[in-house]
Structure 1
Amino acid sequence: MPSDPARPALDAATRRFLPWVVALAFFMQTLDTTILNTALPGMALALGEHPLRMQSAVIAYMLTVALLIPASGWLADRLGTRTLFLWAIALFSLGSLACALAGSLNWLVAARVLQGVGGALLVPVGRLVVLRAFPKEQFLPVMSFIAIPGLIGPLIGPALGGVLVQFASWHWIFLINLPVGVAGVLAALRYMPQLKAQALKAFDWPGFVLFSLGLMLLSVGLQGFGERMVSTALSLVLLVAGLASMAAYWLHAARAEAPLFQMGLFAIPTYRIGIIGNVFARLGSGATPFLTPMYLQLGLGYSPSEAGLSMVPTVLGAMLTKTLATRLIQRQGYRRVLVANTLLLGALIASFALLDRQTSHLWLAIHLAIFGMVNSLQFSAMNTLTLGDLDAQTASSGNSLLAVVMQLSMSLGVATSSAFLLLFSGASELPRGQDLLPAFHATYLSIGAMAALAAFIFYQLRRHEGAADAGDTMGQE
């Protein structure tokens, strides 16, 4: 990321309301990532699709966000923070409108890509403005305030999605973004400063193209294998092409003066282990926000509103863990916490296979709350381990790569869980009325085993590596 410009002089009103503008962007982005999952079965019915084939609408958004995160800082320095922030809100809102107007799954996927372009820029640009506009002693309090809407979004998203799809229409899960977007544009025009870098560094466009192409080809190839959207031969070709693109990026980055991601990052043991562990752990845990609302509806027979409300204990459990994670990590160390918690996380994911239609709402709430606590501890520990040993020269590049890996691994987790569901359902045409409970149980067992395997990666940590700094990382979940 280019060097910071001189800190701007902000008037009292801007200093007061700028955090609210950025918080609004956080809320829009986090609400959208959770509100859709509960509505997928109802949307599938309206669009004439089977619910188990709706994952492309989720993957399209996540993958688009992952592809554009590396360019967000450079674009903000080139265009100015206010200009890019306004474009981000506008594209996110237009994408939401296009989603609401979608008459087919392909249309919905294309609209989600447009929405993802805006979503990829909203949070990074907002965080960048706060970093540059407020002095160091005010940064943590401001970011703590901004993080609150980021917690509220996942809290109300699943329940709101379920209520809207059951009592109104699925279109409203996208239409509610429009008034929020209008308010965001008006507020940004008044309170968002136009900040640019004093000296704009060249962006690694060849590296960006190679890296993005590799991610896209790998994702489409894996999704093709799972869904049988294309032939096995074409899926294999896409996977090989994706690997070739990633290998080409690796060779390019080794010689480039200012690569997209610094190669020196992987010389840091805690960063290397944290990144690889993130990939495998999130393949399992990242699939659950997508999988569980469908499991409750298609497997256990819950209504959309019941399924959405049932997800609330997960977020409440995650919030509770926020107050305990730092002390636990500082007392036990990263190696013990991550190895034990990763195994526990895998076991909890697999234990969803023990739930059936006779399971009480109370026991389900307890199960989801415990899962939320363990999952939140996992994310906090992985993120702080990964970023804790970065210095001023590697922090920006390392944080950007972590954000990409998080989005990509969750996208692959959704694709993998969908592939398992299709495999275990045993029917290529997926007739309506089929009992999907056994397929869901087998899927949870599989992704739980995948998540637990990450414990072998975290076991490579030395006993005291990363133990000095265990503060949480804002906005990384």
Structure 2
Amino acid sequence: MEPAPLGRTAPLVLAVALFMEQMDSTVIATSLPAIASDIGTSPVALKLALTAYLVSLAIFIPVSGWMAERFGAKRVFRIAIGVFVLGSVACAFAGSLGAFVVARFVQGMGGAMMTPVARLVLVRATPKSELVQAMAWLTIPGLIGPLIGPPVGGFITTFFTWHWIFLINLPIGLAGIYLAGRVLPDIEPSGGGSLDRKGFVLSAMAASGIVFGLSVVSLPALPPAVGLATALFGLACGWLYVRHARRTPAPILDLRLFSNPVFRAAILGGSLFRIGAGAVPFLLPLFFQLGFGMTPFQSGMLTFASAGGAILLKFMASAALRAGGFRNVLIAGGLAGAAFIGINASFTAGTPWPVIVAVLFASGFLRSLFFTSVNALVFAEISEAQAAQATALAAATQQISIALGVAVAGGALEAISLITGEALTTHAFVWAFLIVAALTSLAALPFVWLDPDAGSSVSGKAPVARSTTPINPPQQ
């Protein structure tokens, strides 16, 4: 029996909470110098606070599914908002580097629960025929937040103080807790069983090691060798976790879900596409500011055009999937999205701003189409009992692939500078965009072998008619 329609209010409440998290994770980037000056440290050292947030996400995302099953998804979601707000207030009142890093880690604990648990609430309370529209609300915050974060952070820091970047989360978070209690459905806990403690430790070390290592390599607050060693340690722990999960009846992350070809294609294709999603918000502002001499505010207003395309997609995703189905939409969206990343390489200082805005608008539309589709496909052909595991696995792979995208972009810029012997020039950015575009285009491959009817109960596309008549019918 399918759940009753969730309506529009509940997905919007979930989306607002996630928007708060997504924007906050990037909004402080332009405010690092002001924060560093105020608490008596350097901007480079303060980047450890950014890394602490990502590491906290990586540690606690794997346990989010178990928490939701054990204590109830709605209750965990509301507590997660509270923890995130508590961390935000602690950030605003931090007076030292150590205090700020700890506060960001606490924020990450809340953020690690908000995204996967919100997705779980949506999946369990939404009929499959309405899942695409509901997922669109959760996709938009993830696309808009990183784009408008830098200009908003610059505006708040310039005209107010950096403390308000975090204090503004207090009323938003309290409203989110109240509204979530009023409008979200009550989903009873299903027990969850005992916690896989060894699996939790191994998965936490694997994910945090990889994310921390990639972050250090791409944004070297520490020597790159430290980042490389940490990433290798994370990979080793990941290998140990795979061995552990195969022998454990109820692992914290059930890798047996990958035996489902639809789920496997969604995770693999989505991860490859997120390399571009992680790289573009890193490359574009630097390209506009270092290559074309724009101010941070000017570059922020240009990159915001992508958000307009993402919002437009909200109203068209269902129609696109009904017409083409998951397989065709994801192949076309993956290739077209990668192509538009490559088009960024053609920008010059003389390119008219309307042209740049049009390209970024289309790029935002295509990214939103891909992510809305692939996020729905993750849950299209799994059972309700597997939904909590699916949300945790999807969220963990997302964090790793986005961090990988930033590392690839930063590594490409560094490599090209070393090869040419020059400082960062527009030439280096051209090659970086082309490399990222090529990697992103690989996202289409996992869907080439997908059944044309995959996820039809979610997409609404009529199944492909297959003839059952023999090629050479017997003669009467």
Shorter-chain TM-score: what band? 0.7 to 0.9
Mean CA deviation greater in 406-415 or 142-151 = 142-151
Q: Would the alpha carbon gap of residues 335 and 306 (structure 1) be closer, same or farther in structure 2, given more than 3 Å must change? A: same
Structure 2 residue aligned with 1:3: none
Q: Structure 1's 330 and 408: CA in aligned 2 closer, same or farther, altered over 3 A?
A: same
- Which of 439, 458, 463 is the equivalent residue of 1:450? 439
The alignment status of 1:376 with 2:368, answered yes or no, reads yes
* Offset of residue 369 of structure 1: 0.3
Worse-superposed segment, 269-278 or 164-173: 164-173
Distance 2:379 2:178 in 1: 35
Give 1:271 deviation, angstroms. 1.6
In 2, Cα distance between equivalents of 1:54 and 1:291: 21
Correspondence 1:163-178 to 2 at 5 A: 163-178=155-170
CA distance in 2, matches of 1:324, 1:464: 20
* Cα distance, 1:314 vs structure 2: 0.9
- Check 1:339–1:105 CA distance in 2 against 1; reply closer, same or farther (3 A cut): farther
Counterpart pick for 2:203 among 198, 211, 215: 211
**Equivalent residue number for residue 254 of structure 2:** 262
Counterpart position of 1:247: 239
Q: What SS class does the counterpart of residue 388 from structure 1 fall into?
A: coil
Cα pair 1:89 1:118 within 8 Å, conserved: yes
2:19 aligned residue: 30
Letter paired with 2:259: A
After TM superposition, give the deviation of residue 226 of structure 1 in Å. 4.3
CA deviation vs aligned residue, 1:70-109 (integer Å, no higher than 9, x gap) = 3224334545667645542332123223333556777654
Name 2:430's counterpart in structure 1: 441
Distance 1:34 1:327, change over 3 A: same
What count of residue pairs does the alignment treat as equivalent? 450
Q: State the alpha-carbon separation in 2 of the partners of residues 409 and 233 from structure 1.
A: 20
* AA aligned opposite 2:429: F
Aligned to 2:463: none
1:466 to 454, 459, 465: 454
Q: Matched residues in 2 for 1:450 and 1:343: separation?
A: 11
Matched, 1:295 2:283: no
Q: What secondary structure is seen at the aligned counterpart in 2 of 1:94?
A: helix
Determine the C-alpha separation between the residues in 1 that align with 2:273 and 2:383: 25
Q: Per-residue CA shift, 1:235-271, capped at 9, x if unaligned?
A: 5543443222112211211121112233431221122
Identity in percent: 32
Distance in 2 (CA, whole Å) between partners of 1:442 and 1:450 is 12
- Corresponding letter in the other structure for 1:40: A
Q: Matches of 1:443 and 1:52 in 2, distance apart? A: 23
> Residue 307 of structure 2 aligns with which residue?
315
Name the CA shift for 1:379/1:87 in 2 (closer, same or farther; >3 Å): closer
Structure 1 partner of 2:468? none
Q: Point out the more displaced range, 280-289 or 319-328.
A: 319-328
CA distance in structure 1 between the aligned counterparts of 2:326 and 2:123, rounded to whole angstroms: 28
Shift of 1:441: 3.1
- Structure 1 stretch 246-255 or stretch 335-344: which is displaced more? 335-344
Q: Determine which of 330, 343, 348 is the counterpart of 1:338.
A: 330
Q: How does 1:327-406 map to 2 (within 5 A)?
A: 327-406=319-398
Root mean square deviation of aligned Cα: 4.1
Query: Displacement of 1:370 after TM fit?
Result: 0.8
**In the aligned structure 2, how far is the partner of 1:44 from the partner of 1:443?**
26
What letter is aligned with 1:369? F
User: Please, which of 382, 406, 421 is the counterpart of residue 413 of structure 2?
Assistant: 421
Tell me which moved more, 26-35 or 200-209: 26-35
Judge conservation of contact 2:136–2:372 (CA < 8 Å) in 1.
no
Cα deviations by residue, 1:409-457 (Å, 9 ceiling, x for unpaired): 1122223323333444559xx9xxx765444333222222221233333
Cα offsets for 1:246-298 (capped at 9, x unmatched): 12211211121112233431221122222122222211222223433343334
Residue 308 of structure 1: how far off its partner (Å): 2.9
Q: Which AA in structure 2 matches 1:313?
A: A
Distance 1:85 1:37, change over 3 A: closer
Match in the other structure for 1:475? none
1:114 aligns with 2:103: no
Q: Secondary structure at the match of 1:457?
A: helix
Structure 1 CA distance, aligned partners of 2:373 and 2:128?
A: 25
Checking the alignment, whether the CA contact within 8 Å between 2:132 and 2:459 is kept in structure 1 is no
Name the SS for the 1:302 alignment partner: coil
- The alpha-carbon deviation at position 130 of structure 1 amounts to 7.0
Could you tell me which of 208, 213, 219 is aligned with 1:221? 213
Q: So what's the TM-score if we normalise by structure 1?
A: 0.77
TM-score relative to the length of structure 2: 0.78
Question: Which residue of structure 2 lines up, in the alignment, with residue 4 of structure 1?
Answer: none
- Unpaired runs of 5+ in structure 2? 461-476
Q: Is the Cα contact below 8 Å between 1:85 and 1:121 reproduced in 2?
A: yes
- What amino acid does structure 2 have at the position aligned with 1:441? V
Unaligned runs of 5+ in 1: 1-6, 8-14, 473-477
**How far off is 1:122 after superposition?**
3.0
- Of stretches 442-451 and 233-242 in structure 1, the one that deviates more from structure 2 is 233-242
Q: Matched residues in 2 for 1:214 and 1:122: separation?
A: 21
Query: Which residue of the partner structure matches residue 43 of structure 1?
Result: 32
